[in-house]
């Protein structure tokens, strides 16, 4: 089944952009459907996606459904952006959506256990005020028992591959951490925030900058700086949709993967051509 994880990965995309063909796709298709030199890449991907829908509901399937049915379906690329695999302390947020508010979506597939979930949620609340868990139905009894009385939202991915809400997330703004907020930012993002509150930043060496600027960062009221951090993260996510008109032409099965690749117009055209190969 690991070959299916590789099909829906950036490694596969790199192969397509490089040569128009993908050894990863061809090998996976041969395993499940037999050797075939006449079927194009688009059809092979559609067939392999049906395998993960029915028999191997991995993390990519969850992300792609969240992207298609929530970001594109309920919202719009004009008003909403997203980030994926965002490190917050020792936890990696699977999917973060920005649409007026910012929500972390933590995915738990049937392939996952729940051992680290409490720690992950604690980390997310140090930066974000809305957290939702989207789980395979097999996890629902334990998740409900553990979080039904909390601010954490709960949804399931149904057997029909739709997202069904069990409990909406509620805002929680009691656990923000200056350290977590600061470390999630890139260098220029930190400067952008500091420049909003200070008329001039001290002259520092590259070795001093991180610690010296952190001292200034901690002087900003916590709720204000948290809002500014979310604005910077939202801008980071918006870079992926600069060529959003091209994205609408991408096959459903690959929309979230391509979105997070942040293609240029040329790369979109190369990719579209590779689908016919």
pLDDT value at 1 more than 70: no
Tens of pLDDT, residue by residue over 114-153, are 999 999 999 999 999 999 999 999 999 999 999 999 999 9
Secondary-structure breakdown of the chain: helix, strand, coil percentages, each rounded to the nearest 5: 50, 15, 35
Which of 226, 189, 234, 264 has the alpha carbon at shortest distance from 81? 234
- Tokens linked to 46: 């559609």
Radius of gyration of the chain (CA): 21
pLDDT value at 35 more than 80: yes
Sheet of strand 81-88: strand arrangement:
81-88, 91-98, 102-108, 130-136, 153-157, 163-167
Q: How many angstroms separate the CA atoms of 226 and 272, rounded? A: 39
Tens of pLDDT, residue by residue over 69-104, are 999 988 888 889 999 999 999 999 999 999 989 999
- Mean of pLDDT values over 187-216: 95
pLDDT at residue 74, rounded to an integer? 86
Q: How many angstroms separate the CA atoms of 259 and 60, rounded? A: 13
Tens of pLDDT, residue by residue over 153-172, are 999 999 999 999 999 999 99
pLDDT value at 241 more than 80: no
CA triple 135-96-216, angle to 5 deg: 135
Q: Which of 185-189, 199-203, 241-245, 269-273 has the lowest mean pLDDT?
A: 241-245
**259: Cα within 13 Å, side-chain hemisphere:** 29
Which of 94, 22, 88 has the alpha carbon at shortest distance from 65? 94
Cβ(243)–Cβ(265) under 8 Å?
Answer: yes
Q: How many angstroms separate the CA atoms of 78 and 248, rounded? A: 12
């Amino acid at each position: 089944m690991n070959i299916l994880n590789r099909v829906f990965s950036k490694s596969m995309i790199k192969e397509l952009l490089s040569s128009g063909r993908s050894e990863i796709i061809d090998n996976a298709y041969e395993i499940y459907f037999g050797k075939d030199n006449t079927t194009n890449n688009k059809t092979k991907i559609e067939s392999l996606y049906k395998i993960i829908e029915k028999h191997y509901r991995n993390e990519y399937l969850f992300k792609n459904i969240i992207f298609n049915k929530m970001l594109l379906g309920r919202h719009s690329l004009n008003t909403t952006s997203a980030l994926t695999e965002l490190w917050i302390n020792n936890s990696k947020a699977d999917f973060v959506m920005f649409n007026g508010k910012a929500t972390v979506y933590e995915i738990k597939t049937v392939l996952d256990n729940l051992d680290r979930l409490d720690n992950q949620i604690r980390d997310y609340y140090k930066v974000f005020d809305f957290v939702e868990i989207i789980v395979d139905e097999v996890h629902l009894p334990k998740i409900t028992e553990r979080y039904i009385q909390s601010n954490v939202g709960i949804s399931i991915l149904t057997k029909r591959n739709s997202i069904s809400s069990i409990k909406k997330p509620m805002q929680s703004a009691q656990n923000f951490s200056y350290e977590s907020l600061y470390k999630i930012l890139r260098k220029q993002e930190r400067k952008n925030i500091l420049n909003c509150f200070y008329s001039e930043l001290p002259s520092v060496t590259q070795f001093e900058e991180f610690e010296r600027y952190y001292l200034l960062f901690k002087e900003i009221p916590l709720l204000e700086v948290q809002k500014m951090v979310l604005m910077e993260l939202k801008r980071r996510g918006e870079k992926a949709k600069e060529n959003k008109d091209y994205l609408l032409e991408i096959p459903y099965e690959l929309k979230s993967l391509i979105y997070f690749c942040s293609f240029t117009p040329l790369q979109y055209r190369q990719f579209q051509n590779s689908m016919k190969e």
